[in-house]
């Protein structure tokens, strides 16, 4: 038999579809396609000579999807004065600012 199942006491994370993962060591030489790989029913890692590389690749391709960040609340500036520059008629309840009679002779 050229393949050996390696069990991990802490277990391997399931794939994104929820399948159980297993670590396989193909005992053939590198030239013959041997090495370590982690696989499940729907996907597998590429074979590598180091078991840590195969485990790192498995964790990378099956990490949980990141949730999108919520947009930050807009900052309210308390030092900004906004003037009404609209050409539409002003509501009747507004008073005009006190001042000189510029342009009304």
Rounded CA-CA distance 14/39 in Å is: 10
Burial code of 39-62, b = ≥16 C-beta within 10 A, e = fewer?
Answer: bbeeebbebbeebeebbebbeeeb
Residue 100 pLDDT: 60
- The answer to whether residue 9 scores a pLDDT higher than 80 is yes
Q: What is the pLDDT of residues 19-55, one digit of tens each?
A: 999 999 888 877 887 889 999 988 888 889 998 999 9
- Which of helix, strand or coil describes residue 23? strand
pTM of the model: 0.56
Q: What is the pLDDT of residues 65-97, one digit of tens each?
A: 677 777 777 777 777 777 778 777 766 665 656
Angle at 58 between CA 52 and CA 63, to 5 degrees: 125
Residue 64 pLDDT: 74
């Amino acid at each position: 038999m050229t393949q050996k199942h390696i069990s991990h006491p802490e277990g391997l994370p399931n794939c994104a579809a929820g399948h159980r993962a297993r670590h396989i060591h193909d005992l053939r030489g590198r030239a013959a396609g041997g090495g370590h790989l982690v696989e499940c029913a729907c996907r597998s890692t590429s074979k590598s000579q180091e078991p840590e590389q195969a485990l790192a690749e498995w964790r990378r391709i099956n990490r949980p999807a990141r949730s999108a960040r919520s947009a930050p609340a807009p900052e309210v500036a308390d030092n900004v004065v906004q003037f009404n520059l609209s050409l539409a008629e002003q509501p009747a309840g507004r008073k005009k600012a006190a001042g000189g009679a510029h342009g009304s002779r």
